[in-house]
Structures are given as C-alpha cells and as structure tokens.
Amino acid sequence: MYKKTLLPNGVRIITEEIDHVRSAAIGMWVGAGSRDEREGFEGISHFIEHMFFKGTEHRTARALAESLEAVGGQLNAFTTKEYTCYYAKILDEDLDLAIDVLSDMFFSSLFDEKEIEKEKNVVIEEIKMYEDSPDELIHDVFSEQVWNDHPLGKPILGTEESIRALSREKIMQFLTEHYSPDNLVISVAGKIKHEDVVAKLSPQFGNFNRGGRRVLEETPIGRTIGFYQKKETEQMHIIMGVPGLGQDDEDIYAMHIFNNILGGGLSSRLFQEIREQRGLAYSVYSYHSTYVDTGLFAVYAGTSPKNTQEVIACILEELMEMKEKGISAEELARTKAQIKGGLYLGLEAVSSRMSRLGKTELTYNRVLSPEEVVEKLEKVTLEDVLRVIGRLWKKENISIMTMGPSGHDVVLPDLLKQSGWQ
C-alpha cells in the first residue's frame, strides 16, 4: 500500500511499507534536469549533483562517502533530462542516518569555490570519456540534431565550454529557482512506517521555502535530419529515429509492445535478423525515450563500415513489414507476458519500488502502480499496435545519423525506395 503526505510547503512524501524485508531505500526526486537549463547554464543540473557530494557544513566529502558505506549502505545520485535523484539504500535500522545525510547534502552543501573549480575538471574528464564511447555519444548527438536548439536535445553533461563557464553564483541561482518545495518528492520503500518517516522528514523539509513552480520550455518540434559525423572508429555507428510519444499519450502502451517486438531484447525481430541470422552486428536494439510532452523512438546498430548499407536496409525492411502487416497474436501475447514479468521482477528490490514511487509521483503527480500498468497493457490489441506503427514511422519523419570513418555515405531516400517505403 502506498501512503502520501503533502507537507504545508508543498513537499510530497510517499512511502510503501514492506514488512518482510530488512532494508529501506530513500530518494529525493527534484524536478530539475538538463531541459530546465537555459543558455549559459548547460550541464548545471548534473554539476550540482556532483557538488552535493563535495562536503557540507557538517561533513567533509570523505565523511559523506564513508557515512553509509560504514554500515553497508549505498549513497548515490543521477541526473536525467527532466529530473535529478539523490538516493540511499540501507538497513531499516539505519534509516535515521540516511535521512540525516541526505538532509545535510540538500540543505548544507558548501559549494566551495575551490571544490567547484576542481570538480569542473572531473566533469570535463567525464565528458571526454563519454566522447570516447561512440556507441553512447551518438544518441546525444542524434537528439541534439533532431531537436535543434531546444534544451531537451542538449547533453546532460553539458560541454567543456559550458562547464568552464559555471560559477557559484549560477549554482545558487539554479538551486533557488528549481530546488523548491513543490518541485521535490521524497520516496521511501522498505521496512518503515509512513508516520515515522513523515515525522523524521518534516522538521527540515517541511519548513524551507524557495523558488517557484516549474515552468517547462515549449514542446520541441523535431526536424528530419540526415547527418554524418566523422570519427576514427572500427565500427560505423548507426541510429535511425522518428518523433515519439509523451508520457500521457493514449498509444504509449501499444508503443512499448511494438518497441519490444522490434528491438527490445534477444528475441526481438531486429536482434534475430541482424545478429543471429546475418551476423552483421553485435549490438542492435530499439528504444523509446519518453518525456513529459514528447518522445523519441530510435533504432541503433554498430557494424563494420562495409556493412552499413545492408544493416540500414535490413532495419527499414523490418519496419516496413511491420508497418504493412502488423504483428501476430502470438507475438502480442508473448510480449505482454515479457513486459509484465520484467515489471514485477524489477520490483523485487526495495530500491526499485522507491524509484517507481518517486518517479511516477514527480512526473504524473500520482503513483502509477504496477497493477494499473499491467491492466492498460492487457487492453492493447493487434489493431492498436498496427495503428501506432503507422502513426510513428512515416517516411517523411525518419531521421538517420551515422558516426564513424569516412567513405561510407548513406543516401536515405535511395534506401527507403529499395525497402519499399511509400
């Protein structure tokens, strides 16, 4: 059972009591990510995440690192395009310690000027490491190209230039504007009592006041691109995509089923055809990035440069066949069972349950229960899947990007024609 308390200042506390475990997980979910960063602030959400671990008025950076590890717990954080999460997993008996540490980070981080300058170098090294991983980098470059200058298309890490331009003044301004009570959800799952959690969190989190309600940029309008980026790599990295669906779209569950069948796992059509049958790639998959008001559906593959045209043609042929014929009843039933099983297996850990509480409350303003997801999933029909394929994968909406050595240019219109696209 989920329980929710709204503190007077707007902070939401949501919990799930699980009596049969000995652990607990707690997360602070802030509705601030890279899409909230205006010009001159690129990368600041992720940078603030780093700085929360660099020392507080009461603990050094080392003391923060040792605080929960000393009792076998974990302390970490991550930043996405639309939110940032700081979380801890501990034994139930150490929940007070976890709350104290996270509260200390949230309210008393120093943001020392020397540490800021030092951490700039750390983040820049992280950016360089990312740029040395073309199979990861290509996704950011692709979304940046498709969404042009919109913040949602900008990389979460920022750029070397934008990181060097950050200052303590900008950090404090961003915190004041975005780390506000009505933009914060605290989720806790495990061997806990809701009333106890609220009582422990209220003294500090119930009495602060800053910033205001989040205001998102306008929904980005995706553009169709054909883009090549030269990079001295052994493989040619390929990504092909179309504008996707926002989180509240009525077709979102049909889209998840389509994505799973197309390239969501070892049994997916693309994996079986491109890797197992033709031996053209080690890594090939599809995914859908869902945001508040939009999305991006993409297919990725990494292959030898000489096989680039064949891999792209294969992807287009598979998409065209699904667009014309849809999927089978057997595929629909199997995929529903697969998604359902993955959903429930993922909830075996208290950290997964905590994440579901925090993320859905922050993005939907309510908890989206596994049972509700399964119920909506079960209602998806063959006709729904066929409709969403046709809705998304239109010839005029397809964008493509390749990253790798030169001399293997891709002419998408020719490949579309060869694959029978109308």
* Enzyme catalytic residues: 49
Closest C-alpha among 245, 196, 170, 209 to residue 92: 196
152 and 216 in contact (C-beta within 8 Å)? no
Residue type for position 364: Y
300 and 285 in contact (C-beta within 8 Å)? yes
Q: Could you write out the DSSP letters of every residue in 170-237?
A: HHHHHHHHHS-GGGEEEEEEES--HHHHHHHHHHHHTS---S----PPPPP-----EEEEE---SSEE
> How far lies 81's CA from each of 33, 154, 159, 184, 291, in Å?
5, 9, 15, 16, 8
Distance linking the first and last C-alpha atoms of the chain: 50
**Which residue's entry shows tokens 């229960």?**
369
Which strand (E) or helix (H) includes residue 77? strand 74-79
Q: What is the CA radius of gyration of the chain?
A: 23
